[in-house]
């Protein structure tokens, strides 16, 4: 599944927004993903985790609220998934502009990095 395909996932509601801090070239959001979200269904039945594609989907969805030029069509570079994201965990998303249509991001839980990488826009 691609990040674009993720849009079609039923019950694809936004996580609960707990905190929001915006500066000219950065965004910090604290969110919680509800346990009844479709992302957790079947991934995995006895140990639900937020799939990597869902993390990238919500990165884009949240970042577009602040950065009008955050890429719809982008190249993801140096993506690393280091820690599982479970339902009801408080997730800190940090997005920093690195250039024209280029952004770095980090998702963390309790100070431990869950995922990180770069997104660079491409012409669609």
Whichever domain contains 45, its CATH number is 3.10.129.10
Q: At residue 7, does pLDDT exceed 60? A: no
In a domain, 65, yes or no: yes
In a domain, 107, yes or no: yes
Domain that holds residue 54: 16-121
In a domain, 114, yes or no: yes
Q: At residue 81, does pLDDT exceed 90? A: yes
Q: At residue 2, does pLDDT exceed 50? A: no
* Number of domain units in the chain: 1
Q: What are the helix and strand counts (H, E) for the chain?
A: 1, 6
In a domain, 3, yes or no: no
In a domain, 4, yes or no: no
> pTM value?
0.86
In a domain, 1, yes or no: no
Average pLDDT, stretch 74-103? 95
**Digit-coded pLDDT (tens) for 11-40:** 567 899 999 999 999 999 999 999 888 888
């Amino acid at each position: 599944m691609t990040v674009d395909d993720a849009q079609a996932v039923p019950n694809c509601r936004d996580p609960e927004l707990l905190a929001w801090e915006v500066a000219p070239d950065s965004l910090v959001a604290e969110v919680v993903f509800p346990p009844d979200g479709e992302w957790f269904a079947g991934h995995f039945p006895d140990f639900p985790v937020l799939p990597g594609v869902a993390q990238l989907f919500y990165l884009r969805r949240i970042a577009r609220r602040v950065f009008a030029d955050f890429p719809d069509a982008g190249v993801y570079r140096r993506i690393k998934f280091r820690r599982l994201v479970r339902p009801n965990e408080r997730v800190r998303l940090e997005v920093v502009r690195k250039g024209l249509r280029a952004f770095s991001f980090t998702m963390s839980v309790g100070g431990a990095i869950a995922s990180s990488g770069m997104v660079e826009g491409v012409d669609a």
